[in-house]
Amino acid sequence: MKQTIKKSFKIHIRTGDRVKILTGKHRNEQGTVLKVFPKKYRAVVEGMNIVVRHLKPSTEHPKGTIQRIPSSIHISNLMLIDAVSGSPTRVGRKCNEAGKLQRYAKKTGNFIKNG
Protein backbone atom coordinates (compact mmCIF):
# COMPACT_ATOMS: atom_id res chain seq x y z
CA MET A 1 0.00 0.00 0.00
CA LYS A 2 1.42 3.36 -1.06
CA GLN A 3 1.50 6.05 1.58
CA THR A 4 0.76 9.62 0.53
CA ILE A 5 2.43 12.52 2.29
CA LYS A 6 0.60 15.83 2.45
CA LYS A 7 2.98 18.75 2.12
CA SER A 8 1.89 22.03 3.65
CA PHE A 9 3.29 25.25 2.25
CA LYS A 10 4.21 28.38 4.17
CA ILE A 11 1.41 30.90 3.89
CA HIS A 12 2.42 34.48 3.15
CA ILE A 13 -1.04 35.92 3.97
CA ARG A 14 -2.70 36.25 7.37
CA THR A 15 -6.10 37.35 8.65
CA GLY A 16 -6.47 41.13 8.51
CA ASP A 17 -3.98 41.64 5.66
CA ARG A 18 -4.90 43.83 2.69
CA VAL A 19 -4.52 41.85 -0.55
CA LYS A 20 -4.85 42.31 -4.32
CA ILE A 21 -6.59 39.61 -6.35
CA LEU A 22 -4.48 38.55 -9.35
CA THR A 23 -6.88 36.40 -11.39
CA GLY A 24 -10.54 35.70 -11.88
CA LYS A 25 -13.69 37.79 -11.94
CA HIS A 26 -12.38 40.21 -9.29
CA ARG A 27 -8.96 40.71 -10.91
CA ASN A 28 -7.04 43.85 -9.79
CA GLU A 29 -9.47 44.49 -6.91
CA GLN A 30 -8.38 44.86 -3.29
CA GLY A 31 -9.87 43.53 -0.09
CA THR A 32 -9.19 42.47 3.49
CA VAL A 33 -8.60 38.82 4.41
CA LEU A 34 -11.35 37.61 6.76
CA LYS A 35 -10.22 34.02 7.28
CA VAL A 36 -7.36 31.75 6.19
CA PHE A 37 -7.56 27.97 5.72
CA PRO A 38 -3.90 26.78 5.85
CA LYS A 39 -4.58 23.09 5.11
CA LYS A 40 -6.65 23.91 2.03
CA TYR A 41 -4.28 26.79 1.07
CA ARG A 42 -7.25 29.14 0.62
CA ALA A 43 -8.46 32.45 2.07
CA VAL A 44 -11.75 34.36 2.28
CA VAL A 45 -11.50 37.99 1.13
CA GLU A 46 -14.13 40.52 2.18
CA GLY A 47 -16.64 41.29 -0.60
CA MET A 48 -14.94 39.05 -3.19
CA ASN A 49 -15.97 35.74 -4.79
CA ILE A 50 -19.58 35.98 -3.56
CA VAL A 51 -21.69 32.83 -4.01
CA VAL A 52 -25.48 32.65 -3.80
CA ARG A 53 -26.98 30.02 -1.49
CA HIS A 54 -30.68 29.14 -1.52
CA LEU A 55 -32.01 27.99 1.86
CA LYS A 56 -35.12 25.89 2.46
CA PRO A 57 -38.11 27.28 4.34
CA SER A 58 -37.68 27.19 8.12
CA THR A 59 -39.31 28.73 11.19
CA GLU A 60 -37.11 31.82 10.85
CA HIS A 61 -37.79 32.20 7.11
CA PRO A 62 -41.15 30.57 6.23
CA LYS A 63 -40.73 31.30 2.49
CA GLY A 64 -37.05 30.37 2.38
CA THR A 65 -34.24 32.81 1.69
CA ILE A 66 -31.27 33.56 -0.53
CA GLN A 67 -27.91 34.21 1.16
CA ARG A 68 -24.87 35.83 -0.43
CA ILE A 69 -21.72 34.36 1.15
CA PRO A 70 -18.07 35.18 0.35
CA SER A 71 -16.31 32.02 -0.83
CA SER A 72 -12.61 31.17 -0.49
CA ILE A 73 -9.92 32.00 -3.05
CA HIS A 74 -6.68 30.07 -3.60
CA ILE A 75 -3.79 31.85 -1.89
CA SER A 76 -1.65 31.74 -5.03
CA ASN A 77 -4.16 34.17 -6.59
CA LEU A 78 -3.62 36.76 -3.84
CA MET A 79 -0.77 39.24 -3.38
CA LEU A 80 -0.11 41.20 -0.21
CA ILE A 81 -0.31 45.02 -0.37
CA ASP A 82 2.46 46.85 1.46
CA ALA A 83 0.96 49.24 4.04
CA VAL A 84 3.77 51.78 3.59
CA SER A 85 3.92 52.08 -0.20
CA GLY A 86 0.39 50.84 -1.00
CA SER A 87 1.62 48.64 -3.85
CA PRO A 88 1.49 44.82 -4.18
CA THR A 89 4.64 43.06 -3.08
CA ARG A 90 6.08 39.61 -2.58
CA VAL A 91 6.65 38.47 0.99
CA GLY A 92 9.82 37.12 2.55
CA ARG A 93 10.90 36.12 6.05
CA LYS A 94 13.93 37.37 7.95
CA CYS A 95 14.95 38.02 11.55
CA ASN A 96 14.19 41.41 13.11
CA GLU A 97 16.29 43.24 15.74
CA ALA A 98 14.91 41.00 18.51
CA GLY A 99 15.98 37.87 16.59
CA LYS A 100 12.41 36.81 15.82
CA LEU A 101 11.47 35.61 12.33
CA GLN A 102 9.11 38.15 10.76
CA ARG A 103 7.52 38.84 7.37
CA TYR A 104 8.89 41.65 5.22
CA ALA A 105 7.97 43.26 1.89
CA LYS A 106 10.53 42.34 -0.76
CA LYS A 107 9.80 45.50 -2.78
CA THR A 108 10.60 47.99 0.00
CA GLY A 109 12.38 45.83 2.59
CA ASN A 110 10.05 47.03 5.38
CA PHE A 111 8.76 44.65 8.03
CA ILE A 112 5.02 43.86 7.83
CA LYS A 113 2.95 44.40 10.95
CA ASN A 114 0.93 41.33 11.98
CA GLY A 115 -2.80 41.69 11.48
CB atoms within 10 A of CB 25: 9
Query: Which has the closest alpha carbon to 38: 17, 9, 16?
Result: 9
Q: Strand pairing partners for 94? A: 102
Enter the DSSP assignment of 34.
Answer: E
Read off the CATH number of the domain in which 34 is found: 2.30.30.30
pLDDT at 17: 92
In a domain, 113, yes or no: no
CB atoms within 10 A of CB 64: 10
Which range marks the domain in which residue 65 is found? 18-105
**CA atoms of 90 and 99, how far apart (whole Å):** 22
pLDDT at 75: 93
> Does this model's pTM top 0.75?
yes
pLDDT band at 5 (very low <50, low <70, confident <90, very high): low
Number of domains the chain contains:
1
pLDDT band at 11 (very low <50, low <70, confident <90, very high): confident
